Structure 1
Amino acid sequence: MTIDYSDYAAAKHFLAQVDEWYKSLEFTPENKIISNLQNYSHWFKYIVSSSFSVTSLYVLGNLYSSITFDELVSGPIVSLSRIAALAIVAWLVGSLVGRAIEYAIDRVQPVSCVLLNRGDERILAKWKKSNRLNFLKAMAGLAATVILNLASSWIFERLVLPN
């Protein structure tokens, strides 16, 4: 910090006061995990949507390989179009979930402020609550990704591929 001054002693005293005040402020330490997640959050949409598509294509590919020759001859285009349609739907759902995760992670911010009055305390509490909520949304989105992938695999295995 620099201060233009006309009286050296007054300026030096003022600078010492500002430095002391600045050192007395409470800063929230930056969360390294959140910081790293925010650096790569733009990839979540692509990773999640790709995982949904790959999972659905794998399951549907196994379904397609289990179809008998007579069923294949009677409707291969219908079967392939269903597989393609379900893969596209899985991509879109994965893209939406990934975008929600990205948005929630990017909304978590380190909170530091100067508490001058009672209103500032309420604002700080509101920001902390917002950060917790956004972090929980991100974790819920990640959990939803895993659960939806497992559920889709289970549904196709149990309902579409009965033994």
Structure 2
Amino acid sequence: MNGIVEVVEHESPGMIRHDDAQIDLFFKMHQKINAKNEEVSKSYKNNILVKFSDIKELHFKTVQSVNSLKPIKSNINVRIAVSHNEGESEKFNSFEEFESRNLTNPNPTSDILLIYSFSVYDKEENDFENYKIMAHVRSRVAELHQIEKEAPPFISSALISNIVTTTAKITVHYSDYVKARHFTAMFDEWIRGCDESKNIDIINKLKKVSHLISKFGKLSIYAVLGFFTVTAIDISVLNYNEVLKFLVAYASIFVIVGGVSEVILRKLELSIDSYLALSYLNINKGDAKLISDFSERNRSSIIWSLFGVIGTIGLGIATSASYDFIKWLIA
């Protein structure tokens, strides 16, 4: 007996048909996620002094700015990378993990990178917008300290101190430029709210001509020495033997004054060049120690600069009595 078997296919509840709206939505999301977004960035060279409380404030400001755009998910994808001198680095998947990090790390913090990724659904355009905010904060003192350790011996620390490095940068990968500008404005406001070290205007001006201090300073002292000697000398009262002794004594004093002025002026030049307007991250013990070291170096630079100026003036005054001293020697 031949029977007809009726086969009835039942669709599974979770099955997606080719005409299902879900697959169209998935395709749009996949296409948008893999699309290349535009990018806007801004760098800063401000001498900012950043503590952990400042980083925490930056995090809260960024989260608030993200939430104001009403992202698709309430939770934002947060990644934090912390780099230290000596090549050490740490990565955290939340700000809470970063907050509970090791505070006793002896290696100074070179930079902190905070990355926030999220998506926004634009109802008007019926489209998805992807954003990535990368806030980068760097420690200038830690960076220069590392450069000093790795630099060849013939490169002085004074030369390295003149390197002006970027201290902060924000980069935003965006779908909507107007919304991206909201984050750069927020970061700009945060930078202005940070403490900054004060620049000493006279030192900044002298740094531009510090390489001329030794050359022109020595020439000026020679000129003063020659002027006072010529105006004070009286050849008529000197006999042949005294003139000969005078020339020997004057040549000796000329060489001695040149050597002493070279040492004083060179020290003055190095002291000016070594001064560094501090900019740092201070979030562990290694940072605190490095900041203390650089602050002490700045104090020493100012003190030695003052000594150099006083010494140069003193040497110039001493040359005015050079003829009387020579006359006393040959008497």
Q: Same fold (TM over 0.5)?
A: yes
The 8 Å contact of residues 225 and 322 in structure 2, kept in 1 or not, is answered as no
Q: Once structures 1 and 2 are overlaid, which stretch shifts more, 125-134 or 99-108?
A: 125-134
Greater relative CO (CA pairs within 8 A, separation 6+): 1
Identify if the C-alpha distance between structure 1 residues 128 and 136 changes in structure 2 by more than 3 Å, giving closer, same or farther: same
Contiguous gaps of at least 5 residues in structure 1: none
Q: 1:109 aligns with which of 258, 261, 276?
A: 276
Structure 1 residues 26-85: Cα deviation after superposition (integer angstroms, max 9, x where no partner): 22132211101111111211232123222322343356425625x1x3364553343234
Report what 2:62 is aligned to: none
Q: One-letter code of the match for 1:117?
A: N
1:68 aligns with 2:223: no
| Pair 1:54–1:45, CA change in 2 (3 A) | same
Cα distance, 1:130 vs. partner?
1.1
How does the TM-score come out when normalised to structure 2? 0.41
Q: Which runs of 5+ in 2 are unaligned?
A: 1-40, 42-170
Counterparts of 1:153 and 1:27, CA distance in 2: 46
Partner of 1:157: 324
Which residue of structure 2 lines up, in the alignment, with residue 53 of structure 1?
222
TM-score, normalised to structure 1's length? 0.75
Greater CA deviation, 50-59 or 137-146? 50-59
Matched residue type, 2:223: V
Q: 1:75 & 1:52 partners in 2: Cα distance?
A: 25
Structure 1 stretch 118-127 or stretch 100-109: which is displaced more?
118-127
2:211 to 30, 36, 42: 42
Asked if the contact 2:197–2:277 (Cα under 8 Å) also holds between the matched residues in 1, the reply is yes
Task: Tell me how large the CA RMSD over aligned residues is.
Answer: 3.2
Distance 2:179 2:290 in 1: 35
Q: How does 1:9-158 map to 2 (within 5 A)?
A: 18-19=187-188, 21-62=190-231, 64-66=233-235, 68-69=237-238, 71=239, 73-74=240-241, 76-154=243-321, 156-157=323-324
Cα distance in 2 for residues equivalent to 1:105 and 1:130? 11
- Which whole-Å CA distance do the structure 1 matches of 2:236 and 2:259 have between them? 26
Shift of 1:104: 0.5
Fraction of identical pairs, as percent: 22
Shift of the 155–89 alpha-carbon distance from structure 1 to 2, 3 Å rule, reads: closer
Partner amino acid, structure 1, of 2:201: K
Is the CA contact (8 Å cut-off) linking 1:113 and 1:124 kept in structure 2? Answer: yes
Q: In 2 relative to 1, CA 82–158 (structure 1 residues): closer, same or farther, beyond 3 Å?
A: closer
Q: 1:119 to 1:77 in 2, by over 3 A?
A: same
Letter in 1 for 2:301: N
Aligned-pair CA distance for 1:136: 0.8
Query: Distance between the aligned counterparts of 2:328 and 2:228, measured in 1?
Result: 10
Change (3 A) 1:86 1:120: same
Deviation of 1:5 (Å): 4.3
Alpha carbons of 1:19 and 1:160: their partners in 2 closer, same or farther (altered >3 Å)? same
What code does the residue aligned with 2:318 have?
A: A
CA–CA distance in structure 2, aligned partners of residues 44 and 76 of structure 1: 34
Say which is worse superposed, 29-38 or 87-96, in terms of deviation: 87-96
